[in-house]
Amino acid sequence: MINDLWYKNAVIYCLSVETFQDSNGDGVGDFPGLMRRLDYLHGMGIDAIWLMPFQASPGKDDGYDISNYYDIDPRFGTLGDFVEFTHAAKQRGIRVLIDIVVNHTSDQHPWFQSARSDPNSPYRDWYVWSKTKPKDADQGMVFPGVQESTWTLDEKAGEYYFHRFYKFQPDLNTANPEVQAEILKIMGFWIQLGVNGFRMDAVPFVIADKGADEQKPQQQYDLLRWFRAFLQWRKGDAVILAEANVPPKQNLQYFGDDGDRMHMMFNFQVNQTLFYALASADTKPLIKALDETRARPDTAQWGTFLRNHDELDLGRLTEAQRKLVFDHFGPDPDMQLYERGIRRRLAPMLGGDRRRLELAYSLMLSMPGTPVLRYGDEIGMGDDLSLPERNGARTPMQWSDEPQGGFSRSDKTVLPVISEGPYGFAHVNVASQRRDPNSFLNWTERMIRMRREAPEIGWGAYAVVETGEKGVLAMRYDWRNNSVLLLHNLCDYPHKIALDLKMGEIGLRLIDIADGGHSQAEDDGRHHILLEPYGYRWYRVGGLDYILRRTEI
Ligand code: GLC
């Protein structure tokens, strides 16, 4: 086993350059601004940044509609600024992952413009066409309620083109070898500019057979191996983190049986059941999801997360489970989106309750995998549901109580800064939380440090320890003769639990690594631990001499 696969025990922070820090007063975040905030990120202890798309784009889907893969949106700076940024990140030991959006382009991309204008265009076959409207054109929309079709007539081409997402996002014909070669070229370009890998957008669609006659499109998994092989050749420590919200039994196809495809995948199954667990205080579906996603090649890793820039997609829960999560965390129709999700930020979903926020984060940090945090969640930012669709949870970072939350000098910002109510920047901002030792920001920092010092979670194997309470999750991770035990009480009432670690002498002593409350097993050999409502514990099994006991293999 290679010891230094950095992504196995890391913390990733995702942000959009557009809403992080504006440096030139035009109301839009930019790379020079982001650079000025690198020390903040460094101080938080993160290992890598994942940047949402920042390439040239008409911006109709927040940059997920790219019109030039080889340049950046001029509002964010220049390619020169970008390279300064990747260099500055590297100096601080922070790796940079960027979104790679190659399932589709913008309809304004010159390739599409050429393809639609001329049947003999070299780019015609880069897209997916049909002379007649396919029968299933009103099926398979990713944005139901907003998107009407997956095939739209292009007047100029005189044919229908396929688009899995919005109609301004024509799908690339990824079966075309020229398109495949171009995807590698795009990766190669950004690697050369200093990035350490990619969050690959919409992977199941990228590798799916596309076309009007496809009844049951198959996935061409080999493509994933080629992407990886190319990347590994160009830059050894670069990774691909796949966005693939697929049923658990397909996961191994994405990782590859030999770990020869995607390095990382977001664990959507655990994400959804985790929210269900928080809403219902029933850990069983979460334990099942953990079990279903347990198998993975040694070199592969899950990306675990709570919220991201999209809606909280609850599409894999049962109807009854989804309803319960809606009732608890997004009861108004306006809080819901695309018939399957919630478009709020984490803090308002949890009623701004510090205990529940800590529980949610502690739980997420203790899931098998590498945590991916979302900008603003470290200070408990809120949302602005007056903004359309997913934009409500994409408002600018709140740095201080100065105008525009310190995000920009401009009167008008790209999306409004949240200025009113309990989540307004006067109340929720980095500067004031920085000064308060008990703030959520400082708590998050400590948790990140603790998580990184518990490589058992990233590298090790876990077992669920029986507590007899479905409202309590107890997980033990083992790695190299070291173990940690993590307890979470999801209930709004206390629980006294009895635990038998069955580890012999060493298991009789638990050292609390977050707080002072250690535990010594009683005469019956069991630990009797009182967990307060929404309480959690991070224990080292044995003593703090674990480092001395750690083995090399
Ligand atoms: C992914 C992105 C989402 C985007 C879509 C189309 O699902 O996360 O934000 O709208 O792909 O690119």
Instruction: Give the whole-angstrom CA distance, residue 273 versus residue 280.
Output: 10
Name, in order, each residue with C-beta under 8 angstroms of 296's C-beta and a sequence gap of 6 or more: 251, 252, 255, 259, 302
Residue 487 has pLDDT above 90, yes or no: yes
Residue 516 has pLDDT above 90, yes or no: no
Q: Which of 327, 304, 325 is nearest to 314 (CA)?
A: 325
Residue nearest to ligand 1 atom 7, measured at CA:
202
Q: Which residues pair with 242 in a beta bridge?
A: 200, 265
Whether 82 lines ligand 1, by a CB cut-off of 6 Å, is: no
CA of 335 to the centre of ligand 1 (A): 19
Q: How many residues does the chain have?
A: 553
Residue 482 has pLDDT above 90, yes or no: yes
Quick one: tokens of 549?
């006991």
Quick one: tokens of 3?
């010891």
Containing 37, the helix (H) or strand (E) segment is: none
Let me know if 488 is exposed, middle or buried by CB neighbors in 10 A (0-12, 13-18, 19+). buried
Name, in order, each residue with C-beta under 8 angstroms of 504's C-beta and a sequence gap of 6 or more: none
Pairing of strands 482-489, 495-499: unpaired
Hey, is 172 helix, strand or coil? strand
CA of 51 to the centre of ligand 1 (A): 13
- End-to-end CA separation in angstroms for the chain: 9
Continuous H helices in 421-535: 430-435, 440-452, 455-459
Instruction: Give the whole-angstrom CA distance, residue 276 versus residue 279.
Output: 5
Compute and round to an integer the Cα radius of gyration of the chain. Answer: 24
Block residue for tokens 């006659």 = 213
Continuous H helices in 264-353: 268-280, 284-292, 319-329, 346-349
- Residue 234 DSSP code: H
Average pLDDT, the chain: 97
Block residue for tokens 């025990």 = 9
Residues designated as active site = 201, 243
Exposure string over 242-276, b if 16+ CB within 10 A, otherwise e = bbbbbebeebebbbbeebbbbbbbbbbbbbbbbbb
pLDDT tens digits along 314-328: 999 999 999 999 999
pLDDT tens digits along 104-133: 999 999 999 999 999 999 999 999 999 999
CA of 454 to the centre of ligand 1 (A): 32
Pairing of strands 341-342, 370-374: unpaired
Whether 469 lines ligand 1, by a CB cut-off of 6 Å, is: no
- Number of C-alpha atoms within 13 angstroms, CB side, residue 486? 23
- Number of C-alpha atoms within 13 angstroms, CB side, residue 201? 25
Q: Which atom of ligand 1 is found nearest the CA of 101?
A: 12
For residue 185, which phi and psi values (nearest 5 degrees)? -65, -40
pLDDT tens digits along 340-383: 999 999 999 999 999 999 999 999 999 999 999 999 999 999 99
CA of 379 to the centre of ligand 1 (A): 25
Instruction: Give the whole-angstrom CA distance, residue 31 versus residue 153.
Output: 38
Instruction: Give the whole-angstrom CA distance, residue 183 versus residue 178.
Output: 9
Hey, is 474 helix, strand or coil? strand
Whether 487 lines ligand 1, by a CB cut-off of 6 Å, is: no
Cβ pair 17, 76 in contact under 8 A: yes
- The string of DSSP letters for 128-159 reads -EESS--TTTTS--SSBTTB--SEEEETTTTE
Whether 159 lines ligand 1, by a CB cut-off of 6 Å, is: no
Instruction: Give the whole-angstrom CA distance, residue 311 versus residue 307.
Output: 8
For residue 326, which phi and psi values (nearest 5 degrees)? -55, -50
Q: Which atom of ligand 1 is found nearest the CA of 103?
A: 12
Whether 443 lines ligand 1, by a CB cut-off of 6 Å, is: no
Name, in order, each residue with C-beta under 8 angstroms of 192's C-beta and a sequence gap of 6 or more: none
Confidence of residue 17 (pLDDT cuts 50, 70, 90): very high
CA of 13 to the centre of ligand 1 (A): 18
Q: What is the mean pLDDT of residues 174-200?
A: 98
What is the best residue among 103, 167, 201 to mutate for testing ligand 1's pocket, by most ligand atoms within 8 Å of CB?
201
CA of 202 to the centre of ligand 1 (A): 7
User: What are the start-end ranges of the E strands in 163-320?
Assistant: 197-200, 239-242, 264-266, 301-305, 312-313
Residue 428: what pLDDT? 98
Residue 515 has pLDDT above 90, yes or no: no
What is the best residue among 15, 18, 64 to mutate for testing ligand 1's pocket, by most ligand atoms within 8 Å of CB?
64
Q: Which of 534, 456, 466, 457 is nearest to 495 (CA)?
A: 534
Whether 425 lines ligand 1, by a CB cut-off of 6 Å, is: no
Residue 462 has pLDDT above 90, yes or no: yes
Q: CA 246, 185, 14, 407: dihedral to nearest 10 degrees?
A: -140
Whether 100 lines ligand 1, by a CB cut-off of 6 Å, is: no
Whether 56 lines ligand 1, by a CB cut-off of 6 Å, is: no
- Number of C-alpha atoms within 13 angstroms, CB side, residue 442? 9
Residue nearest to ligand 1 atom 3, measured at CA:
310
Quick one: tokens of 223?
């493509």
Residue 58 has pLDDT above 90, yes or no: yes
Whether 171 lines ligand 1, by a CB cut-off of 6 Å, is: no
What is the best residue among 52, 61, 243, 308 to mutate for testing ligand 1's pocket, by most ligand atoms within 8 Å of CB?
61
CA of 169 to the centre of ligand 1 (A): 10
Instruction: Give the whole-angstrom CA distance, residue 553 versus residue 440.
Output: 37
Residue 517: what pLDDT? 86
Residue 224: what pLDDT? 98
Instruction: Give the whole-angstrom CA distance, residue 141 versus residue 163.
Output: 9
pLDDT tens digits along 25-57: 999 999 999 999 999 999 999 999 999 999 999
What percent of the chain is modeled with pLDDT above 70? 100
Instruction: Give the whole-angstrom CA distance, residue 487 versus residue 474.
Output: 5
Whether 456 lines ligand 1, by a CB cut-off of 6 Å, is: no
Cβ pair 152, 163 in contact under 8 A: yes
Residue 147: what pLDDT? 93
Residue 1 has pLDDT above 90, yes or no: no
Q: What is the mean pLDDT of residues 53-81?
A: 98
Whether 73 lines ligand 1, by a CB cut-off of 6 Å, is: no
Residue 410: what pLDDT? 98
CA of 64 to the centre of ligand 1 (A): 6
Q: What is the mean pLDDT of residues 58-86?
A: 98
At 109, which amino acid appears?
Answer: H
Instruction: Give the whole-angstrom CA distance, residue 388 versus residue 390.
Output: 6
Q: Which atom of ligand 1 is found nearest the CA of 65?
A: 12
Q: What is the mean pLDDT of residues 468-492?
A: 98
Residue 215: what pLDDT? 85
Residue nearest to ligand 1 atom 9, measured at CA:
310
Whether 64 lines ligand 1, by a CB cut-off of 6 Å, is: yes
Full strand arrangement of the beta sheet holding 151-154: 129-130, 159-162, 151-154
Q: Which atom of ligand 1 is found nearest the CA of 166?
A: 6
CA of 201 to the centre of ligand 1 (A): 6
